[in-house]
Structure 1
Amino acid sequence: MQSIAANSQPLNAGDRRVTTKAPIDHWERLNPAQQFAFYSLVKLGYELLFVRNAYSTECMAIARLNQQVATIDAQGEINFSPDIQLRPH
């Protein structure tokens, strides 16, 4: 078993690297209706990219399968043709 310790250096106080959230962090931001809807997307191979808070009580989950994007609104409705553009990474 190989170790990856060489690449995992502790961050110091001056380090300003941006860390991305793990999928579990995004999952916890979904309401039960969105979690249920996302289960159906997982079966198709989608991954949860992020959760966007449009308003204080409204959030939108963004998922992707290859180049296909889907959104899940606060009511758990899935939109397979959303009018959004993702930034290239």
Structure 2
Amino acid sequence: MNSSFAEFNDRRVNQPNIEQHWHRLSTAQRFAFYTLAKLGYQLLFVRQSQNEKTAVARQDDRLVTIDGDGDIDFNPTLILRENRAA
């Protein structure tokens, strides 16, 4: 078995809860999310790469992202794992 696959941890097995995601948000992201929450959006998760933290929120089937500066993208090019074609 390829060693890179042996060390792979599937994030779906042990996902952080919403409170843990909330603590990962920057202050700017929290203020932006407050605005979205008033519109009925729910925080799904926060993705963190080496250079960027991106929060993802959803209202029904509409997704939005919030970058580290608190800028909201109402039309992100994002496909959730649950919606990905097999």
TM bracket (short chain): 0.7 to 0.9
TM-score after normalising by structure 2: 0.76
The structure where helix makes up a greater share of residues is 2
Stretches of structure 1 lacking an aligned partner (at least 5 in a row):
1-16
The letter of the residue matching 1:47 is: Q
Matching residue of 2:13: 18
TM-score after normalising by structure 1: 0.74
Matching residue of 2:23: 28
Distance of 1:19 and 1:58 partners within structure 2: 22
Aligned counterparts, 1:69-88, within 5 A: 69-88=63-82
Report the Cα offset of residue 18 of structure 1: 2.5
Distance of 1:44 and 1:29 partners within structure 2: 22
Q: Percent identity?
A: 49
Whichever of the two has the greater Rg, that structure is 1
Correspondence for 2:32 among 27, 31, 37: 37
The letter of the residue matching 1:38 is: F
Superposed structure 1 runs of 4+ greater than 4 Å apart = none
The letter of the residue matching 2:20 is: D
Aligned counterparts, 1:52-67, within 5 A: 52-55=47-50, 57-67=51-61
Stretches of structure 2 lacking an aligned partner (at least 5 in a row):
1-11
Report the Cα offset of residue 65 of structure 1: 0.6
The letter of the residue matching 1:43 is: K
Distance of 2:49 and 2:70 partners within structure 1: 15
